[in-house]
Amino acid sequence: MNNHDPFLQRYFPWLLLLGILLNLPGLWLDIMEPDGALYATIAKHIVQHNDWINLYGDGHDWLDKPHFPFWMAAISYKIFGITGFAYKLPAFIFWLVSLRYTFLIAKELFNADVAKIAVLIYTVALHSTLANFDVRAEPYLTACITGATWHMLRIHKNGHWVHIVAAALFTACAMMTKGIFVLITIGGGWVIFWMLTKQFKQFLNYRWWLFLGLCVIFILPELYSLYAQFDLHPEKVVFGKTQVSGLRFFFWDSQFGRFFNTGPIKGKGDVTFFLHTTLWAFLPWSVGLVAGIFYLLRFDKNRDTIRWVVYGSTLITFLLFSLSRFQLPHYLVIEFPYFSMITAYFFYQLSKSPKMDHLVTAQTVLMFAALACIAGLVYITGIQNGIFAALIALAIVLAASVISYKNNLQQLLFKGYAMAAMLYIFLFQFFYPFLLQYQSGRQAAREITDISEGIPVAAYGSFSYTFEFYSPGDVSLLRNGEYLQDFIDAAPCYLYTTQSIADSLLKSGLNAEVRAMPQHFQVTRLKMGFLNQKKRNLTLEPRYLLYIKDDTAVL
């Protein structure tokens, strides 16, 4: 196969367009709790109070993630209004940027065909698509890492000075998204490459030192914001204590403190977590990834050392994640562009080999397994229009099975995309709309219609980030009964709370009207009892939205 495969030249634009379209519907779905809704609320506070320095979330000064993703969401709110779509849109744009840089890096390190395959793989990798729906920091971080890597490749080839500026800017934005540990992901592969090729003089090359110097300059907005919010106010209580330094947290506690589990935020983990997580998070390509890694280790004869910029970064980051006590599936998303390149290179090398038949068989099995899972979920959950969802999935499988393929690479990619189409149509059109109706905070917020009159809103006994985000204006998070009484005294007002608290207030003579009683379940922690339509009611808890009238009695 040459570097301009006719199949890829013909179908690449259409498959890429299909992959992007499959990612789009999640932009219009409600934001999920907890993290996505919390981050959206923090950005909402920035816009409502025109305060771009102090991050405020969960009812207090917030010190965890850096500012960059919140600034991007807040800018989007300024343009499009404070909506779930506006929160997700800038992350989606950054994801598109990461697709472009994935192509450029793969083309530079391999060839144009590998680059096209890599982009197609990355576009529909499962947890990448989920990250565009349940937005956290990963779409921003992935774009910044790939952008920095591409421009560093240009610096390596003595490219124009603008690449030094661009690489530093992307790196700085990555640090202002996740912290200084991203320097290990961005630079670790380069260090390995220089060591393997004995280019020790690169450690003294002025271009790299200029790059690091510019990084420091570009992160000054983050450093100033942390200093102004925390270091200038040692009296603030953060993590249950005073004298907390935002700068120390940025440079140490949020990164090294988490890795060594000595910081204020602690975790627990298993070193094998990301090994088995990758097997489902990188679907429908996980079998190809495992085989591709094995191929690189045993059979690859074209060991171009510059590729260690990718291989080394992938290895170091994966080990870092595995050894850390903080382990969540979405952390892996920043590895997906490099996973995709490794998988694409393997597909490219094997494309004319009879051994490709085994991969095609595995892809076919995965496609039918996905169909079985969809059918099983439809049967167990009893979701609305479930039969229609199962028929769509069946039609996609049948179409992918009867198409006449010209080669194994075409069959592999088409069946992978068929599986992706099944999954994402089912998830975004049927399954997630079913789940999101049990985010009670969002359902309660729909009933608040007269906020323009300045009626205060609060939550007591049950805090919901979606209620805080989707309610117009600010939402007070009441921590104890004394604050509750003060809030009631300011009636008329809205109160979001649990059934037991609502019943107690109403029985005490509170003059209030029940505006909504949405059913609640934490949908990010699914359990079989909830999924089973026959047992679901046993897992649900009602939440109440009370409209407290202005002639209410004092409790």
Determine if residue 268 is left, alpha or beta; phi over 0 gives left, psi from -120 to 50 gives alpha, anything else beta.
Answer: beta
Q: Give the model confidence (pLDDT) of 269-296 as tens digits.
A: 678 888 889 999 999 999 999 999 999 9
On the question of pLDDT at 388 being above 60, the answer is yes
What mean pLDDT is predicted for residues 15-24? 96
With H, G, I as helix, E, B as strand and everything else as coil, classify residue 281.
helix
Q: What is the DSSP letter of 497?
A: E
Q: How far apart are CA 430 and CA 29, in angstroms?
A: 11
Is the Cβ–Cβ distance between 111 and 4 less than 8 Å? Answer: no
Q: Give the model confidence (pLDDT) of 131-158 as tens digits.
A: 999 999 999 999 999 999 999 999 999 8
On the question of pLDDT at 261 being above 60, the answer is no
On the question of pLDDT at 448 being above 60, the answer is yes
On the question of pLDDT at 451 being above 80, the answer is no
Is the Cβ–Cβ distance between 543 and 499 less than 8 Å? Answer: yes
On the question of pLDDT at 265 being above 70, the answer is no
Phi/psi for 270 (5° steps) reads -125, 130
pLDDT at 254: 78
What mean pLDDT is predicted for residues 124-137? 95
Q: Give the model confidence (pLDDT) of 53-80 as tens digits.
A: 999 998 889 998 999 999 999 999 999 9
Share in percent of the chain as helix, strand, coil (round to 5): 65, 5, 30
pLDDT at 441: 93
**Which pTM was predicted?**
0.93
What mean pLDDT is predicted for residues 462-483? 88
Q: Give the model confidence (pLDDT) of 516-543 as tens digits.
A: 999 999 998 999 999 999 999 999 999 9
% the chain with pLDDT above 90 = 72
Tokens standing for 504?
A: 């107690």
What average pLDDT does the structure give for the chain?
A: 91
Using the Cα atoms of residue 496, residue 497, residue 503 and residue 508 in order, give the sign of their dihedral.
negative
Q: What is the DSSP letter of 196?
A: H
On the question of pLDDT at 260 being above 80, the answer is no
Least confident of 9-13, 191-195, 219-223: 9-13
Using the Cα atoms of residue 456, residue 462, residue 468 and residue 471 in order, give the sign of their dihedral.
negative
On the question of pLDDT at 321 being above 90, the answer is no
